[in-house]
Structure 1
Amino acid sequence: MTEITRVPLQPIAKGSLTKLWLGVAAVLLLAAGLAWAAAPKGLTVDTLVEGTGDFAQPGDVVFVEYVGKLADGEEFDRSRPLPIPPGLLPEGTPFPLEEGATIPGFYEGLQKVRKGGKYVLNIPSEMAYGAEPPEGAPIPPNADLTFEVEVNEIMSQADFEQKVMAIQQAMAQQGPPPGADGGPNAPANPQPVPQSPPQGQ
């Protein structure tokens, strides 16, 4: 009968065991970090002040006052009042909640807001302009964007269109405001009434 020579395993020194576990932990953390970096980062919405009522839905028009910033905090855009008499429409810029009316991150973010709320929309570049921002825009390629928004009103598209028609009729009956003909009372930087929100606001 052949005798098998048994060679006992040498015990692992305490220091070596610690190094082994640290090495395993480092590999796991590295793998998790690479997976996180490779995963697409989605939109996040931080609530500063919770609004009331229902969330905005596709087909609504959301009136917001907003400030757009780059990741380093530099401001690149902000809402401006519409060139109409005050009180005819809610304050802020009206955004129809329709796909393609604005960047995807803003479209999705506005569906997570309520009237009266204040929010911060953190939009990754792939849900903003990606590698090709609009020509002349102060936005670098692949830029993540942040929008601070205050929601003044949410109304249906039908109500919005009805209000706009009433405003157009009232303004047509009154005639052009003083200075609209380019005379001495004309505003220094007249702005046309926007027919739809600019892409990316």
Structure 2
Amino acid sequence: MSVQLPTATGSFGDKPEISFPTPNAPEGLQVEVLEQGTGDTVEVGQTIVVNYLGQSWGGGVFDNSWDRGQTISFPIGVGMVIGGWDEGLPGKQIGSRVLLSIPPELGYGPRGVPQAGIGPNATLVFVVDIVGVE
């Protein structure tokens, strides 16, 4: 049985909108490269620069960098961000647009982040544009 992942509008650099194909999220971490970049490969320990949009599976957008008008940067693969990002982004190329479906155990778990609109045990979906490394 194939996994049905959300779809995202737009291309690299455009603020995406996410549509969900089913009410139920797939199991485990799912990573899909929506647009393949041509830059260097992101390696564990590098500080990456991204634009992103985050949404709970079937729910609303809880955060995105496009509306703030600025990218964010952080070390990847070293525990500074949620596990789904640490596992799903290394090995991708700069200039790529990546869709991540992140299960609760690699996101915010049973507590969620209620103040951000992330419920307990929420599956998170992110569209991430890998802009560069610092």
Partner residue of 1:70?
A: 56
Matching of residues 21-100 of structure 1 within 5 Å: 41-79=27-65, 80-81=68-69, 92-100=71-79
8 Å CA contact retained: 1:81, 1:93 = no
> Quick one: higher RCO (CA 8 Å, sep 6+), 1 or 2?
2
**Where is the helix percentage greater, Structure 1 or Structure 2?**
1
Question: Hey, which bits of structure 1, 4+ residues long, moved more than 2 A?
Answer: none
Paired residue for 1:119, among 90, 98, 117?
A: 98
Q: 5 Å matches for 1:1-201?
A: 41-79=27-65, 80-81=68-69, 92-134=71-113, 136-155=115-134
TM-score when normalising by structure 1: 0.49
Which one has a larger percent strand, Structure 1 or Structure 2?
2
SS at match of 1:150: strand
Indicate the percent of aligned positions where both proteins have the same amino acid.
38
Q: Is the 8 A contact 1:67 1:75 kept in 2?
A: yes
2: CA distance between counterparts of 1:123 and 1:55? 21
User: Does the CA-based 8 Å contact 1:76-1:139 persist in structure 2?
Assistant: yes
**Which structure has the larger Rg?**
1
Structure 1 gaps of 5+ residues are 1-39, 83-91, 156-201
Give SS of 1:126's match: helix
Normalised by the size of structure 2, how large is the TM-score?
0.72
Alpha-carbon shift at residue 113 of structure 1 (Å)? 2.0
Q: RMSD between aligned alpha carbons?
A: 1.9
Q: Unaligned stretches of 5+ in structure 2?
A: 1-25
Per-residue CA deviations over 1:2-60 (Å, capped at 9, x if unaligned) read xxxxxxxxxxxxxxxxxxxxxxxxxxxxxxxxxxxxxx932111111101244211110
Q: How far off its partner does 1:61 sit?
A: 0.9
SS class of match (1:111): coil
